[in-house]
Amino acid sequence: MIVSEAERRQKTRAGEEQQRTRASAHNALLQLAGLGQSCWLDDLTRRMIETGELAGLVAEGVAGITANPATFAKSIINGKEYTTDIERGTAAGLNAEAIYEQLATTDVRNACDILRPVYDKTDGVDGFVSLEVSPHLAHDTAGSVAAAKRLWVAVDRPNLFIKIPGTAAGVPAIEEALTQGINVNITLLFSVERYEAAAHAYLRALERRAAADKPIDRIASVASFFLSRIDVLVDALLQQRIEAVPANVSDPKALLGKVAVANAKLAYQSFQQLFAGAKWEKLANCGARLQRLLWASTGVKNPAYPELMYVEPLIGPMTVNTMPANTISAFEQHGRVRETVGEGIEEAHRVMAQLRAPGIDFAEVAAQLEAEGIQKFVEPYSELMRYIETKCQA
């Protein structure tokens, strides 16, 4: 086939444009890193690993991966790449949960290897991949600790995070896992109070290790503070009250889409206070690392809202933003990169205080979101177990 000169020039321009786009994307993530915030990808599939897509994203500046039972369920149910391993697990007499753990730990181990250069280059600050314990263990302290130890040994990589929900039962499990030298990503945090409980669990674990003359310089943890789910629920509650609130009360419409970011900004204020002062300095002098705040659930659920509303207002030092692929793409294309997480603190306090006027108790909102968050993982996890069992029977 003869290619005309015009077609050749067109292909050349397309290639140059693609290179410029990738360079621009790389620059955006580098600028973000320059302000102290890491960009992680909120997804993991075997296909991404095998096709080189994940390696490409890492080359562009993605510095970590988070995964959860819901993303794994979608990947395994929809991916033919897992069929052979399911058959092998069945032949070995494994049950559905054991087969799932083999599939998940294999993917996470391979992803850890792809991210390992990032981990080494940043001296263990970035380059992590997260693997969550079963959502059925959210209210089981001992079960969570046992699962964390089992998964940690199975993956056997230093740049692994075990995800444990920051529930009332999860907090002591988090402390115990960290004390035993397991890196922990504390997930499903919706309130400042829950975040502070998670941060104190980390500090207690470091103190326990230091008191036992165990090293603390390689213990890592992040606290995953959720965003979009907060606005979804609070907006629904506000909509119910818009017509019913008396005229002398602040207009609930003014709070729509404002609560999640305000709540996160106040959590960052707590982070700055918790990791300062004599108590922290003593641990830092022994090599302790800050437990970074990680902004989770940053994909916008309401199409009427700006697609970067959970990214641009929360840029700041010692934070992570874990984004879905489409949010990363949007940020690469037109994200504004400047430090913003410390701005508007008075406004954040005002927003949270004004929620009380229309009768919304944020503590109740956070408790409901925690329960719903667990259920959102239980359902796909249970569906995945049924899928694997069916494949085993077949």
β-pairing verdict for 292-296 and 221-226: parallel
- The CA-CA-CA angle for residues 37, 42, 44, to 5°, reads 130
Torsion of CA 96, 99, 100, 102, to 10 degrees: 160
Rounded Cα distance between 348 and 341, Å, is 11
- Options 11, 74, 149, 163, the catalytic residue: 163
Please state, as a whole number, how many other Cβ atoms lie within 10 Å of the Cβ of residue 240.
13
Do the Cβ atoms of 56 and 364 come closer than 8 Å?
no
Place of tokens 């399911």: 86
User: Terminal CA-to-CA distance of the chain, rounded, Å?
Assistant: 48
How distant, in Å, are the alpha carbons of 79, 89, 236, 290, 365 from that of 171?
Answer: 34, 33, 30, 18, 20
User: Is position 258 annotated as part of the catalytic site?
Assistant: no
**Catalytic annotation, residues:** 163
